[in-house]
Amino acid sequence: MHAPARTASDRTALARTASAPVLVEGRGEISAAVVAALRSGEPPVHDPGALLRADPWGEDLHLALYLLYELHYRGFEGVDDTREWDPDLLRLRRALETRFLHALRAELSEAPRTAEEAFAPLLVEPVDLSGSVSRHLETEGELWQLREYAALRSLYHLKEADPHLWVVPRLTGRAKAGMVAVEYDEFGAGRAERVHARLFADLLVDLGLDPSYGAHLDRAPAVLLATVNLMSLFGLHRALRGALVGHFACVETTSSPGSRRLAAAMRRCGAGPAAEHFYAEHVEADAVHEQVVRHEVVGGLLEAEPELEADIAFGCAATVLLEDRLAGHLRTAWGAGRSALRGEDGGFSEGPGAQQNLEMG
């Protein structure tokens, strides 16, 4: 299956994916301090007690962390690139990361400690899919729910594979070779139009959504931001390289069945050929990737650094935890007939005129 040709209007919209995103407003004292610091070029100013009071799962902490991480990706419009390594921002980021990481470890204190135990449940399709978002979208989801799902997932998919690439210089031998092989596919195997981030931008265009990088940040709740922050946290710390491999292996292991259901959902709802193509592309590719990641990347890392096994298991368990939290949020909101997006009530359920800030300009 090949992605459809784009119109001139579509190409104009897609061109915006290359630009730096615009800063959003804060959601609390810490994120507001980060936004003010990035706009002014000054150090962040906040009450030190705010860090101790911050909810490790909350909107303020996760927006602040997301904004600080984004300096290592595209940055923000009007923000000097040198702020990426600003010592004051890095100190704040470290404090937020520590709070988030401690909350994860506390939540997962009973989680498996071996790779085999962590991945075994993921290798069998669950009999009960009642809590599965992809199953809901495949069988009874509405187009407005698909659009919300795509808008939220865009915060990762428009930089798909980027956070995982940070682990490559930290691996050796089989693990490095296997990781690069999979990443080569994620980045289009040498063809720009097949880069997975570009395919997702095409999906957004088919759904009538703004494909600009970071366009939907302001509507993404903390439960979604946490899933993206997890990748950046693992990717930016060499000490967490095992956790990043565990995360990547978890994603690749579970991707193919979910992608099959989402491709069917896009087809059933008439979302468009590019929307269906993105997920159809992942069905076969990720089935192959899963084998390479588990046997070569995870297996190679365990062979080279067996002391990292608990970290690999932790990375997998943390991924499952945060994806389950996101799925619960989506199913609860949609089950009540309301938007899962942050902000005004209604979302796409109000019809094509609702939430104009999500539409293509």
pLDDT digits (tens, 9 = 90+) for 50-59: 999 999 999 9
pLDDT of 126: 67
Report phi then psi at 359, rounded to 5: -80, 160
Cα Rg of the chain, angstroms: 20
Percentage of the chain surpassing pLDDT 90? 82
Confidence category of residue 8, pLDDT binned at 50, 70, 90: very low
Residue 154 reports pLDDT greater than 60:
yes
Residue 18 reports pLDDT greater than 70:
no
CA–CA dist 158, 278 (Å, integer): 12
In the chain the domains, ranked by start, together with CATH numbers, are 16-107 (no CATH), 115-358 (1.20.910.10)
Tell me what the mean pLDDT of segment 59-76 comes to: 98
Residue 11 reports pLDDT greater than 80:
no
Percentage of the chain surpassing pLDDT 70? 89
Tell me what the mean pLDDT of segment 230-241 comes to: 98
- Give the residue from 215, 210, 211 showing the smallest Cα distance to 199: 211
pLDDT of 171: 98
pLDDT tens digits for range 203-220:
999 999 999 999 999 999
Residues 160, 196 contacting (CB under 8 angstroms)? yes
Q: What is the pTM for the complete model shown? A: 0.91
pLDDT of 7: 56
pLDDT tens digits for range 316-335:
999 999 999 999 999 999 99
pLDDT of 284: 74
Tell me what the mean pLDDT of segment 82-87 comes to: 98
Looking at every residue in the chain, the average pLDDT score rounds to: 90
Residue 5 reports pLDDT greater than 60:
no
Report phi then psi at 151, rounded to 5: -60, -45
pLDDT of 124: 81
Confidence category of residue 291, pLDDT binned at 50, 70, 90: confident
Q: Which amino acid is at 135?
A: R
Residues 315, 234 contacting (CB under 8 angstroms)? yes
Helix axes 222-235, 143-157, angle to 10 degrees: 30
Confidence category of residue 351, pLDDT binned at 50, 70, 90: very low
Tell me what the mean pLDDT of segment 306-313 comes to: 98
Residues 278, 150 contacting (CB under 8 angstroms)? no
Residues 355, 344 contacting (CB under 8 angstroms)? yes
Residues 284, 290 contacting (CB under 8 angstroms)? no
Alpha carbon distances (Å) from 190 to 184, 186, 193, 195, 253: 8, 10, 9, 8, 24
